[in-house]
Amino acid sequence: MRLGVCYYPEQWPREQWASDARRMRELGIRLVRIAEFAWARMEPTPGQFEWAWLDDAIATLAAEGLKVVLGTPTAAPPAWLVQQHPDVLPVDAHGRTKAFGSRRHYCFSSEAFHAASERIVTAMAQRYGQHPAVVAWQTDNEYGCHDTVLSYSPAALAGFRRWLAQRYGSIHALNAAWGTAFWSLQANSFDDIGFPVGQPTGALPTHALDFRRFASDEVLRYNRMQVRVLREHAPGRDVLHNFMGMFGEFDHHAMGADLDVAAWDNYPLGFTDTAPFISEADRLSWARTGHPDISAFHHDLYRGICKGRWWVMEQQAGPVNWAHWNAMPLPGMVRTWTWEAFAHGAEVVSYFRWRQLPYAQEQMHSGLHTPDDVRDLGGEEAAQVARELAALPDDAVLASATAPVALVFDYSAKWMTDIVPQGADMSYFGQVFGAYSALRQLGLDVDLVGPDAPLDAYRMVVVTGLTHLTPALSARLQALSAVVVLGPRTGSKTEHLGLSSQRAGAAPLGSAMHLPITAVDSMRPGLQLPVVGVSGDELGQPLGHGHQWRDLAQLPADSAARVLARYEDGYPAWVQQGRWFRQCGMVDAPLQARWFTEAARLADLPVVNLPAGLRLRRRGDWLFAVHRGPDHVQVPAPAGTSFVLGDARIGPAQVAMWHAP
Amino acid sequence: MRLGVCYYPEQWPREQWASDARRMRELGIRLVRIAEFAWARMEPTPGQFEWAWLDDAIATLAAEGLKVVLGTPTAAPPAWLVQQHPDVLPVDAHGRTKAFGSRRHYCFSSEAFHAASERIVTAMAQRYGQHPAVVAWQTDNEYGCHDTVLSYSPAALAGFRRWLAQRYGSIHALNAAWGTAFWSLQANSFDDIGFPVGQPTGALPTHALDFRRFASDEVLRYNRMQVRVLREHAPGRDVLHNFMGMFGEFDHHAMGADLDVAAWDNYPLGFTDTAPFISEADRLSWARTGHPDISAFHHDLYRGICKGRWWVMEQQAGPVNWAHWNAMPLPGMVRTWTWEAFAHGAEVVSYFRWRQLPYAQEQMHSGLHTPDDVRDLGGEEAAQVARELAALPDDAVLASATAPVALVFDYSAKWMTDIVPQGADMSYFGQVFGAYSALRQLGLDVDLVGPDAPLDAYRMVVVTGLTHLTPALSARLQALSAVVVLGPRTGSKTEHLGLSSQRAGAAPLGSAMHLPITAVDSMRPGLQLPVVGVSGDELGQPLGHGHQWRDLAQLPADSAARVLARYEDGYPAWVQQGRWFRQCGMVDAPLQARWFTEAARLADLPVVNLPAGLRLRRRGDWLFAVHRGPDHVQVPAPAGTSFVLGDARIGPAQVAMWHAP
Amino acid sequence: MRLGVCYYPEQWPREQWASDARRMRELGIRLVRIAEFAWARMEPTPGQFEWAWLDDAIATLAAEGLKVVLGTPTAAPPAWLVQQHPDVLPVDAHGRTKAFGSRRHYCFSSEAFHAASERIVTAMAQRYGQHPAVVAWQTDNEYGCHDTVLSYSPAALAGFRRWLAQRYGSIHALNAAWGTAFWSLQANSFDDIGFPVGQPTGALPTHALDFRRFASDEVLRYNRMQVRVLREHAPGRDVLHNFMGMFGEFDHHAMGADLDVAAWDNYPLGFTDTAPFISEADRLSWARTGHPDISAFHHDLYRGICKGRWWVMEQQAGPVNWAHWNAMPLPGMVRTWTWEAFAHGAEVVSYFRWRQLPYAQEQMHSGLHTPDDVRDLGGEEAAQVARELAALPDDAVLASATAPVALVFDYSAKWMTDIVPQGADMSYFGQVFGAYSALRQLGLDVDLVGPDAPLDAYRMVVVTGLTHLTPALSARLQALSAVVVLGPRTGSKTEHLGLSSQRAGAAPLGSAMHLPITAVDSMRPGLQLPVVGVSGDELGQPLGHGHQWRDLAQLPADSAARVLARYEDGYPAWVQQGRWFRQCGMVDAPLQARWFTEAARLADLPVVNLPAGLRLRRRGDWLFAVHRGPDHVQVPAPAGTSFVLGDARIGPAQVAMWHAP
Ligand SMILES: [Zn+2]
Ligand SMILES: [Zn+2]
Ligand SMILES: [Zn+2]
């Protein structure tokens, strides 16, 4: 559990560096990320490198005992590269070439860009790969930020056609997989294939999906090139990428296989302000704290990307500049966000940035210090965390942050849902986040795991919105003894984004949970229908209501399943078959909590009903409580507990930590 | 009154065809539409045709006694045509060429497309034109769907200039008609004329209108080519087109003159979800039934296109895929929609589609059967209709579905209103639909008639929002003895979309209804003003309120007209002169009902105040009641009536039919 | 105080001109603006001029004693110019060339357009420059209307690079000023610079700001060419431009230095309907009167452009056609708007237009007469004003309309706020308008003054949202003895749109008001926090609430300032240091009124709390009351006052004027 900071020496006078380094050490910083975005400083003209400044910067940091994370600067291609190779620039969905002048102005399919990137990354890695202070490398910066995964350039089109030829072997196979019998869309050769945009109405879903897969693969191919160079010249160093929150345009699990550490950039207020699946009411309630689950969701997601190793590479340290509104965090939140990350297992929390820059695009993005070099609120809270870390008992939280509940997350399910939403407010991120939040509200710790992750260690597995349930995952679920909750849309699509057989719902699970879905019911906001009980006093009585989405299920006569709740019009809403539960649609929060409670009970997992804004997280023998709500609350610790952090009663923006073996 | 179905044999294994055909017959289907969209199957490479599969498909259907409607496949130009002739592709208003990859990717002005279309239509018609099972032909599919009437291609520009040269003869005449004295817009030759888009601010209204007229004429020209080929090679067969709902970008009345039957595609839930003039409250109330008037409005509109002959070519049979939200219809609605169409005079109701396709763009569009070939809810309800049809008394509803009230509908009024709305929420469709709905709520049967239709048979004629009142229509209205209600904006524009003399309101009617309109008052949502009575107890008392729009009228001293209600500030609101009424603005629903009731009384037409969701329709000696409301209601049948369908009391999604001579 | 009218003889039959001129005189018109937009009539083919019609038109007007304002017609380049020089057309931000067919279809950087403009303006000026009836010239029409200041043409790009080279001298200086150390954005030559649009994310703020400055300068350069020609050939005549309301894309103060008179076009209902900073509630409340401050704000702004000389060139005379909704003005408002302009010091109020044109884009834009040539409501009210003007006592309102309160307005502050808003609803126009409205509600007269205007005559100076406070203005403020109120964001940016030192708040003011701003807090709608008192009974008690924006201030230990109110969390909200006040954030209206009242008291300015819709304006010894509210109100005149206009009690849309020395 170390603290880090993001630092851009090229933006400050050299005479300030030594003081900066000294004060970093004094504040408790151990790791400093530098060099990302500094391409034009390292290679001011093609092929001619200037290392002196960077040599100095690293030496200055190392002199204070600080470790360095070097970022490759490829997110900021210099002007000369664009002048030399205009085809480096990406092209938008309307065919307009994007312009030089901000960042990420490159097309992942541009071979000129690959070549130039390999040259600068090789040169950096040759020079600093074995530097003792350089302990880790970050490739590029936030792949995909600003909608930059998809490019519609000639190079991308040629690459897409090659990718399709390789995937399908023959145009006949492509026609079969895409279903081009519809609307006379038969392709006679791969050269008939264009981009899935600009048609009078939507393109073939499989066409669109394959383009998303291709684009994701292009990001992986590009990153793999950088990783290969770094592994060759910087052996033994951690290679990581700093992923961005709420971003799913490429397959993070696939990229994670190439990396040592999954880092991510944690801006809780910005995400709360802009995440499309957060309600306006929640944006207001949590404007100064971040939604109680928005950071933790990502912590638990990124922990699953690289076998448990993960960092927060950029931690919001004050107001940011890029959301619609950029509120001041509630005093205490910078500290609390930091501890929350450690509670979920972060190895490093690195603040963005050492000092606010008084010019350029991020001039309103605060850091640990004001532009005038005064320690800002965030800096004070970071220093407090450093002191608290130093004071921790020796045995505190060495354990990994595994959880008893797994929630499956699959990037291709996001693409499929985007392409065939069927209801204008359907969102895969939103659906999984909703399930996550409901579980966390019950005090349950959750691992967000990829579709190929091992599941044996879990007592309960939740799979929701996972449009395509692979035979492999289906088989692994059937081999478990865990309680499994299957949510709406799960298993509804084939690998090619067609309908599953019998719109199968749980059908790919064979007889384990035999509940065919014959149709779906997509409901506009405000349209709802009661869910009613089926037995005892609850027979016909409303338990809550469904909205937004229903899988319309038909329990076959020979089914071993049992309907536990129905919609008012008779369709099953909540079904159990042994250790399997099937939830057929979206429901209101109390009913969702009730159903997850039923599943948790069967899994022998205790649940609580946490007050608004309070969240718990166990790490080994230690328990953390993190609070965002407006009121003071009691944490669920036995009387007499002695607290390492906080107290039995904590207020807004406070945290507590205690030993709970 | 026959049932049909839309079927795509090319999308299913040949071994399934015979079973499909047999079960169609068994379900009660009599007509099957096939071949639309199958161009690439019929002509896989340019000029080389494959008929074997289609021969088989037709034979398989014919073997079960089914009749075939053949669709020309031109809505789906194959990849090879686009590769050969890229100018087939349409161009959008921003100058971007639309892409191959969905459907309707053609420009009506492309001569290459005309040539290729004529070739495939001729080849089909030569082969099947006299086939005994092929009883009708559908040209193309849903002209204009996905915003495809207007194309901004070089061919369209050349065509537009030719069209203008022909219309105006000289550039001088064009300058005069367009009013180019304004803003120095004088054209010196037809080559100075461009598209009416992309200007810093709006183009000349007449420029915009002429482009809409030209674009409509291009659709007519293209369709006429197909009709000519079909009439030559398929003599005696019905030629029809399947129009789409809520679509007015070309003149359907003009196209109707070229056809035998006007077919239309009835998707009540999709229209209710997306029609811009339906309120959010109504979208919710009728999410599972469709707005009570949305289907009937189109039935009554399309009945007026081809002298009374009309079909429903595609009938929604379950949830669709293309609205923002796609709810499940209330059980019973598929049956009820079908009977509603027959009540309004449909010859055929043909369901879309036989079986849901488990892939491609419409994979979530249900049909009579699930993709696994199980009869779905819609299939069950269609079968019920088939049984009910078979059980009808012999004399049931042979009569045509004419009505005592005519409501004039004119496509060019839509274009004029779009171009010069004056209030951001003004919509010609919305205005006419509002009048229609108010009349239907009073139990009145309505014919939507074109501006050239004979009016002698009607007791009451409503003309609202008809911006340009032609001298011909004006003369015909004056020659009637019917009660005439003139609504806001009527007669306000000249043929060239300038202001009528005296912004004439009823001025083109001369002394028949002499009420000059001097200005208009367009009101944002929420802005309203009381309408007050003018005599007796009602003098100065509020009768309701006006909103959205007012024609500001001035009753001349010499007028024979009488103001029956005024706005609070004195302007006339509701004026009568003999058998003429003039309504000056939009008013709330109860006041609208009151005024239509006054007019109906003068026309000696009885009215009722129907409960929410109930509608009545007479066809000859038979009365139908169709109910969508949430409550059970009593239908207005005398005690002791024996019902052919339903009962004296019907619930949601139910229908009743009884003899009422 | 004279009345004028806008007239387009080229749009009407010549035989109508004499009658029009006579009736203008009879109605009380003294000035007639003609010829703007008539380029194609004056120069139907390149270089060949037709003056006969214009000679006649001027003579006809002059024969009735009317004076003429000649508009140069350059806002309407003819078709032949565009055909000859397609590069005349402007290019939008997406790179699409805008089309001929409306108006303002020219790029300010097109040299072909400069040449053609100079030719037509020279020809006009040579012919009419010394005509005795032609007393003033208007350049072009509403520069910038329809978003036409910014053009992205090749000529604009070349011009922008030249402008940058001139401004910065070296690319090194540009790199330093723009902060290109960020994101490797170093330019190696001016040819590396493109437009600040189309990047994956925002361009450098200084890049964007310089492009705005360049674009403003291009407008100035173009206008200066016209002014130079006119001064040469039309000596002694007033040269003016008719600015548009709510428009700030170029620097009006800079243009004013080249003109004799600032004219503006006053459409109160259109602005109220469309101004982005007016709330929906206010749009409804004032739909028929215009917001009580929308016209006056512009009157007071444009009075500051040309040393106090200003006209209303186009006065709304009835419903317009270009807002979203276009309501009828409340009867009386045309008169009231006219008197309000005179109350604020207008020399001329000129109605738009003499007669409504029954065709073309503005066919629904009313005038003083209907298209049928009947005097409309607006015409009647104009005639009443003419009669009232004639009846005024001789000494009435010769004095200038100066005010005791100055509110600083700076166009570059608008650009800076647009570029770096930090909160999605931040608007410089909105912020200054809010302050203006609060001051006016207190009965205070306000001058809107440019940042270089003399301030010595004011008792109170308000500076709000002025992002960059120049050293010159700072020094001048410090040299005053007036009370100064500094509002949020003031002084927060450098000349290059970086952060001021210490995010200085009042820091550029040195010790005069020493209150460093360390960060800002941008709040979404609905997020608010109480403002509390700091002493006496009010200690800790809520005084109101803050919302939308806070500058987070830290009072240094050595500060001489005193916090008069705080936010609940302790940050200063309202601070006083001697004659200086600093307001740290946006607050609710009552609290804003309280604070302005405190400042006004210190400035010894009496305030009142005016009822809704009532506004007062002093001009010399005369007081005007203008009322828009729904109720009758008492004006603050001593008992026994004799009124020149109106009475002691006035109703909606009424005005009063009385002597109040
Ligand atoms: Zn970042
Ligand atoms: Zn269709
Ligand atoms: Zn104007």
Is residue A399 one of the residues assigned to a domain? no
A441: CB partners within 8 A, 6+ apart: A589, A593, A609, A610
The catalytic residues of B are 142, 314
- B contacts of A179 (beta carbons < 8 Å): 357, 359-360
Catalytic residue among C142, C218, C249, C388: C142
Q: Please tell me the distance between residue C352's alpha carbon and the centre of ligand 3 in angstroms.
A: 8
Cα–Cα distance for residue pair C562/C565, rounded to 1 Å: 9
- DSSP codes, C557-590: TT---EEEEEETTS-EEEEEETTEEEE-EEE-HH
List chains touching B (3+ CB pairs under 8 A).
A, C
CATH code for position A644: 2.60.40.1180
* Structural domain boundaries, residue B420: 405-602
Q: Is A657 helix (H, G, I), strand (E, B) or coil?
A: strand
Q: Which of A201, A496, A568 to substitute to test the interface with B, most B CBs within 10 Å?
A: A201
CB nearest to C363's CB, from B181, B424, B499: B499
Residues C127 and C274 grouped into a single domain: yes
Whether residue B353 contacts residue B6, with contact meaning beta carbons closer than 8 Å, is answered with: yes
Averaged pLDDT for residues C242-251: 94
Residues B126 and B254 grouped into a single domain: yes
* Helix ranges, C179-204 (H): none
What residues are paired with C583 via a beta bridge?
C574
Cβ–Cβ gap C41/B198 under 8 Å: no
Tell me what pLDDT residue B502 has: 62
pLDDT digits (tens, 9 = 90+) for B574-585: 999 999 999 999
Q: Please tell me the distance between residue B111's alpha carbon and the centre of ligand 2 in angstroms.
A: 26
Among C357, C391, C425, which residue terminates a domain? C391
Residues C107 and C176 grouped into a single domain: no
Q: Which of A359, A363, A375 to substitute to test the interface with C, most C CBs within 10 Å?
A: A359
Nearest CA in chain A to B11: A181
Residues C360 and C385 grouped into a single domain: yes
Tell me what pLDDT residue A558 has: 83
The ipTM (two decimal places) reads: 0.96
Is residue C116 one of the residues assigned to a domain? yes
Q: What confidence tier does C512 reach under pLDDT thresholds 50, 70, 90? A: confident
CB nearest to B95's CB, from C83, C96, C324: C96
Cβ–Cβ gap B199/C98 under 8 Å: yes
pLDDT digits (tens, 9 = 90+) for C386-408: 999 999 998 887 777 789 999 99
Cα–Cα distance for residue pair A543/C262, rounded to 1 Å: 69
Catalytic residue among C43, C249, C314, C347: C314
Cα–Cα distance for residue pair C237/C239, rounded to 1 Å: 6
Distance between A572 CA and the closest CA of chain B, angstroms = 15
Whether residue C241 contacts residue C140, with contact meaning beta carbons closer than 8 Å, is answered with: yes
Q: Is B236 helix (H, G, I), strand (E, B) or coil?
A: coil
Q: Which of B43, B53, B102, B273 to substitute to test the interface with A, most A CBs within 10 Å?
A: B102
Whether residue B174 contacts residue B168, with contact meaning beta carbons closer than 8 Å, is answered with: yes
Three-state SS across A257-321? CCCCEEEEEECHHHHHHHCCCCCHHHHHHCCCCCCCCHHHHHHHHHCCCCCCCEEEEEEECCCCC
CATH code for position B421: 3.40.50.880
Q: Please tell me the distance between residue C265's alpha carbon and the centre of ligand 3 in angstroms.
A: 6
Handedness of CA C390, C391, C397, C401 (dihedral sign): negative
Nearest CA in chain A to C525: A284
CB nearest to C372's CB, from B94, B199, B501: B501
Q: Please tell me the distance between residue B353's alpha carbon and the centre of ligand 2 in angstroms.
A: 10
List chains touching C (3+ CB pairs under 8 A).
A, B
Q: What confidence tier does B624 reach under pLDDT thresholds 50, 70, 90? A: very high
Averaged pLDDT for residues C433-451: 98
Q: Please tell me the distance between residue B142's alpha carbon and the centre of ligand 2 in angstroms.
A: 7
| C232 tagged catalytic | no
From the number of C-beta atoms within 10 Å of its C-beta (0-12, 13-18, 19+), residue A488 rates as buried
From the number of C-beta atoms within 10 Å of its C-beta (0-12, 13-18, 19+), residue B559 rates as middle
Please report, for residues A141, B21, C306, C531, the alpha-carbon distance to residue C260 in angstroms, rounded to integers and kept in the order given.
55, 86, 6, 47
Cβ–Cβ gap B100/A184 under 8 Å: no
B384: CB partners within 8 A, 6+ apart: B335
**Strands A483-486 vs A460-463: parallel, antiparallel or unpaired:** parallel
Catalytic residue among A36, A43, A218, A314: A314
Alpha carbons within 13 angstroms on the beta-carbon side of residue C482 total 22
Tell me what pLDDT residue C657 has: 97
Question: Which 8-state DSSP code applies to residue A10?
Answer: G
Cβ–Cβ gap C102/B200 under 8 Å: yes
Cα–Cα distance for residue pair A128/A125, rounded to 1 Å: 5
Q: Please tell me the distance between residue B401's alpha carbon and the centre of ligand 2 in angstroms.
A: 25
Cβ–Cβ gap A519/B79 under 8 Å: no
Q: Which of B361, B366, B375 to substitute to test the interface with A, most A CBs within 10 Å?
A: B361
Whether residue C60 contacts residue C13, with contact meaning beta carbons closer than 8 Å, is answered with: no
Whether residue C439 contacts residue C610, with contact meaning beta carbons closer than 8 Å, is answered with: no
Q: Please tell me the distance between residue A517's alpha carbon and the centre of ligand 1 in angstroms.
A: 43
Q: Is B565 helix (H, G, I), strand (E, B) or coil?
A: strand
Tell me what pLDDT residue C503 has: 55
Residues C244 and C105 grouped into a single domain: yes
Cα–Cα distance for residue pair A465/A585, rounded to 1 Å: 10
Q: Please tell me the distance between residue B291's alpha carbon and the centre of ligand 2 in angstroms.
A: 20
Is residue A398 one of the residues assigned to a domain? no
Closest CA to A584 of A474, A494, A487, A499: A487
Residues A91 and A169 grouped into a single domain: no
Averaged pLDDT for residues C480-490: 96
Q: Please tell me the distance between residue A432's alpha carbon and the centre of ligand 2 in angstroms.
A: 34
Handedness of CA C258, C262, C265, C270 (dihedral sign): positive
Residues B557 and B639 grouped into a single domain: no
Among A186, A208, A230, which residue terminates a domain? A208
Residues A334 and A422 grouped into a single domain: no
Residues A373 and A336 grouped into a single domain: yes
Residues C637 and C594 grouped into a single domain: no
Q: Take residue B429 and report the two structure tokens written for it.
A: 């469709």
Whether residue B104 contacts residue B39, with contact meaning beta carbons closer than 8 Å, is answered with: no
Averaged pLDDT for residues C106-126: 98
Averaged pLDDT for residues B262-279: 97
- DSSP codes, C480-542: --SEEEE-TTTT-B-TTSSBPGGG-TTGGGGGGG---EEEEEE--TT-EEEEEE-SGGGBT-E
- A contacts of B370 (beta carbons < 8 Å): 502-503, 518-519
Tell me what pLDDT residue A502 has: 62
Cβ–Cβ gap A76/C524 under 8 Å: no
Is residue C214 one of the residues assigned to a domain? no
What value, to the nearest 5°, has the Cα angle with vertex C589 and ends C325 and C561? 140
Tell me whether the omega of the peptide bond preceding residue B353 falls within 30 degrees of 0, making it cis: yes
Cβ–Cβ gap C198/A98 under 8 Å: yes
- B contacts of C319 (beta carbons < 8 Å): 519-522
Residues C327 and C277 grouped into a single domain: yes
* Residues surrounding ion ligand 2 at CB below 5 Å: B 265
Is residue C284 one of the residues assigned to a domain? yes
List chains touching A (3+ CB pairs under 8 A).
B, C
Residues C447 and C500 grouped into a single domain: yes
Whether residue B436 contacts residue B407, with contact meaning beta carbons closer than 8 Å, is answered with: yes
pLDDT digits (tens, 9 = 90+) for B489-540: 999 999 999 998 765 444 567 778 888 898 999 999 999 999 999 999 999 9
Q: Take residue A656 and report the two structure tokens written for it.
A: 């507590």
CB nearest to A101's CB, from C181, C196, C521: C196
Q: Which amino acid is at B90?
A: P
> Counting every residue, how long is chain A?
661
CATH code for position B89: 3.20.20.80
Q: Which amino acid is at A634?
A: Q
* Residues surrounding ion ligand 1 at CB below 5 Å: A 265
Q: Is B106 helix (H, G, I), strand (E, B) or coil?
A: coil
Three-state SS across B454-509? CCCCCCEEEECCCCCCCHHHHHHHHHCCCEEEECCCCCCECCCCCECHHHCCCHHH
Q: What confidence tier does C556 reach under pLDDT thresholds 50, 70, 90? A: confident
Distance in angstroms between the alpha carbons of the first and the last residue of chain A = 20
- A contacts of C527 (beta carbons < 8 Å): 284, 287, 325, 327
The number of folded domains in chain C is 4
Integer-rounded Cα radius of gyration of chain C: 26
Catalytic residue among A142, A218, A249, A340: A142
Backbone angles phi, psi at B200, to 5 degrees: -55, -40
Is residue A313 one of the residues assigned to a domain? yes
Cβ–Cβ gap C79/B420 under 8 Å: no
Nearest CA in chain A to B318: A519
Distance between A614 CA and the closest CA of chain C, angstroms = 21
CB nearest to B183's CB, from C103, C371, C372: C103
Closest CA to A304 of A238, A236, A231, A251: A251
Low-confidence residues in chain A, pLDDT < 70: 502-508
